[in-house]
Structure 1
Amino acid sequence: MDLPRYSIAIHSTVASYREWRRKAFQEGKSVGFVATMGALHEGHASLVEVPSKEGTGTQKRTPDAVFVPSVKEMYPSGISQTVSEQKGTFVEVKGFGHQMEGSMRPDFFRGVATVVTKLFHVIEPSKTYFGQKDIQQALILRKLTGDLLLSHPSSENLHIVPTARDSSSSLALSSRNAYLQPIELTDIAPSLYAALQEGKRSWETGLSKSECIARAKALIESKVQDVHNDPRLEEKPVIKLDYIEMNDPESFDVLSEGIDIGVWEDEGEGDKGRPVILSGAMWVGKTRLIDNIVLGDGGRLGIIN
């Protein structure tokens, strides 16, 4: 495939990138890595800016290299989308892929762990950066790097960057947002984050987990009613909540219904700021949105400011 010339080095083969990385090693340079699935947006840009700022103070700069491999490069033996038909080597972080998003998307994190392991072996990043919007993915990959004793990156150098949000609505930036109609984008989709914020407020006032979730869900139900009664909408978009839940960030286990912040911290031997993941997913029309916030000290999960 012929690619146009850019000031950024573009590598479409593993061999080409590895030659570039070898020179970077020889020159004593570090490499920060941001993985994407394409469909670039400002959320991805916020991930790229973090390693740039770390390397050059407050000066922003463009990436030095982009790796855009073909399917054949990444899967030289071929790949089937049907798990039962797959043959070859795959990576799975057992016990951490069936909760939260994994409960809705079986085998998803097996695929993530496999392709990202391959990318880590190719890129050999000094540091790597993932967005908080996909926090389960980021935490699973950190566990992967530790369990496999990777040096590039080490688990300590896998960083989670706070979710980039729309400045007016606080909607999490995502390539999926492009599928939303204007009124869905501005008036409906942001209700998921608003619901999580309601859950956060309830948790911090000492309400039980079940009460926090109930209040968050009530906000979504209120939005459903608003949409139903909105005269601007001749065709009412379907709004369907998949889940809102609280999980232990260490095990991903669901918190018990009656637990509150005091009990949670007491169970951690008086651990003030013990983090909890409050996450949710909902459908707006044909678009599925996800979001999360961390209750407590997000810095303990490797979330950087």
Structure 2
Amino acid sequence: MRVISKVTELHQWRAKTRSQNKTVGFVPTMGALHQGHFSLVEAAKSKCDVVAVSIFVNPSQFAPHEDYDNYPRDLESDLKKLEPYYQNVQDDDDFIVFAPSVEEMYPRGITLDIERQIGGFVEIRGLSLQLEGVTRPHFFRGVATVVTKLFCAVQPDLAFFGQKDIQQCFVVRALVEDLIMFPMKVVIVPTQRDPKTGLALSSRNVYLTDDERDNLAPMFYKGLKDAVAAYENKNERSAEKLLALVRNRAEKEGGLNIEYISLIEPDTLEPVVGNVGEKGAILCGAWRIGAARLIDNVLLGIPLMPKD
């Protein structure tokens, strides 16, 4: 498997694929790969001639007090996990991994202190300071910046993101629409879950104990499913009642430390007032359990992918 660490080499690879009229599917990751990531790789392989997977733990989306230094990193293990997807490719350049250094991605240097950062950064106003942005106001500035850098480096035709990070999906879509230098589309792939518990797969699940992973953390998703059942089977549209169903299961029964539970409009990500309308809504939240901070969401009456 070809592993590229330099942007100049990546541009040479992209020039070759373009000369062969091959479409490129791109899967950006921070490593610690799991089945959620592999579902994105599988989707990219099904829709594109060539697949590029990036592995890069992006410092600019972490605050000084967060887990950047402890975030799981094992490039050798990640490459081994990707080997089955590399098998049977016609050309060694049809499946590559881009694993740059921090210096390659931030040539001016980078500090976690946003006030001391220098160089170019990207912000998506209007979608970044609610939900995840309330407690992590720096986060989507870092995400938008690194995604812009990666898009410029890889120049994909399609980029694949997971539904679990639903706000990130909206931010990236807005980035692609607003920065018109990107002639590409964003594909959102459904959240991958533990088949027994329903817990959304996440790199941060490694922080959970067996009991937390199997019995406590899944209570949030059970609350989300309660709300989905009420919405679909009982025609429940009251935002207050739908939110209460999630909170009752996750906070009261599960004892989870809820950071937020929100029912939001699909176009603005602002809270639904009163009842869910014809546009549907996104029900989402974040909670802490042990050393882990986890997020999840479900869609109420809206498609995962908008119509072209």
Question: Equivalent residue for 2:11?
Answer: 18
- Distance (whole Å) between structure 2 residues aligned to residue 290 and residue 221 of structure 1: 14
Q: Does 1:279 align with 2:284?
A: yes
Question: Equivalent residue for 1:80?
Answer: 111
Q: Does 1:33 align with 2:26?
A: yes
Decide whether the 8 Å contact of 2:265 with 2:272 is kept in 1. yes
Decide whether the 8 Å contact of 1:30 with 1:125 is kept in 2. yes
Residue 300 (structure 1) shift = 4.3
Q: Does 1:45 align with 2:38?
A: yes
Question: Equivalent residue for 2:267?
Answer: 250
Decide whether the 8 Å contact of 1:275 with 1:300 is kept in 2. no
Residue by residue, what CA displacement relative to the aligned partner does 1:263-299 show, whole Å, maximum 9, x if unpaired? Answer: x12xxxxxxxx23110011111121110001111224
Q: Does 1:70 align with 2:70?
A: no
Question: Equivalent residue for 1:271?
Answer: none
**The residue matched to 1:35 in structure 2 has which SS?**
strand
Decide whether the 8 Å contact of 2:262 with 2:284 is kept in 1. yes
Task: Report the AA paired with residue 171 of structure 2.
Answer: I
- Distance (whole Å) between structure 2 residues aligned to residue 247 and residue 150 of structure 1: 30
Question: Equivalent residue for 2:195?
Answer: 167
In the alignment, which of 139, 142, 147 is matched to residue 116 of structure 1?
Answer: 147
Identity of aligned residues (%): 42
Residue 206 (structure 1) shift = 2.2
Residue 301 (structure 1) shift = 4.0
What is the Cα-based RMSD across aligned positions, in Å? 1.8
Question: Equivalent residue for 1:203?
Answer: 231
Question: Equivalent residue for 2:89?
Answer: none
Question: Equivalent residue for 1:4?
Answer: none
Decide whether the 8 Å contact of 1:244 with 1:280 is kept in 2. yes
- Distance (whole Å) between structure 2 residues aligned to residue 278 and residue 42 of structure 1: 23
Distance change (3 Å), C-alpha of 1:221 and 1:148: closer
Distance change (3 Å), C-alpha of 1:105 and 1:200: same
Task: Report the AA paired with residue 115 of structure 1.
Answer: V
In the alignment, which of 231, 238, 242 is matched to residue 212 of structure 1?
Answer: 242
Which is higher, the Rg of structure 1 or of structure 2? 1
Which stretches in structure 2 are left out of the alignment for 5+ residues?
A: 50-83, 87-93
Residue 38 (structure 1) shift = 1.3
**The residue matched to 1:298 in structure 2 has which SS?**
coil
Question: Equivalent residue for 2:210?
Answer: 182
Residue 178 (structure 1) shift = 0.9
Q: Does 1:298 align with 2:303?
A: yes
- Distance (whole Å) between structure 2 residues aligned to residue 279 and residue 191 of structure 1: 13
- Distance (whole Å) between structure 2 residues aligned to residue 253 and residue 10 of structure 1: 41
* Matched ranges for 1:98-117 at <5 A: 98-117=129-148
Residue 17 (structure 1) shift = 1.1
Decide whether the 8 Å contact of 1:120 with 1:152 is kept in 2. no
- Distance (whole Å) between structure 1 residues aligned to residue 164 and residue 194 of structure 2: 13
**The residue matched to 2:29 in structure 1 has which SS?**
coil
Residue 202 (structure 1) shift = 2.6
TM-score by length of 2: 0.82
Task: Report the AA paired with residue 12 of structure 1.
Answer: S
Residue 85 (structure 1) shift = 0.8
Task: Report the AA paired with residue 172 of structure 2.
Answer: L
- Distance (whole Å) between structure 2 residues aligned to residue 224 and residue 146 of structure 1: 40
In the alignment, which of 220, 234, 257 is matched to residue 192 of structure 1?
Answer: 220
Aligned length: 265
Residue by residue, what CA displacement relative to the aligned partner does 1:61-97 show, whole Å, maximum 9, x if unpaired? Answer: 4371000001111011111111111122110011110
Q: Does 1:138 align with 2:176?
A: no
- Distance (whole Å) between structure 1 residues aligned to residue 85 and residue 254 of structure 2: 43
- Distance (whole Å) between structure 2 residues aligned to residue 113 and residue 210 of structure 1: 32
Residue by residue, what CA displacement relative to the aligned partner does 1:97-133 show, whole Å, maximum 9, x if unpaired? Answer: 0111111211110010001100000000011100000
- Distance (whole Å) between structure 2 residues aligned to residue 70 and residue 195 of structure 1: 40
Decide whether the 8 Å contact of 2:230 with 2:242 is kept in 1. yes
TM-score by length of 1: 0.83
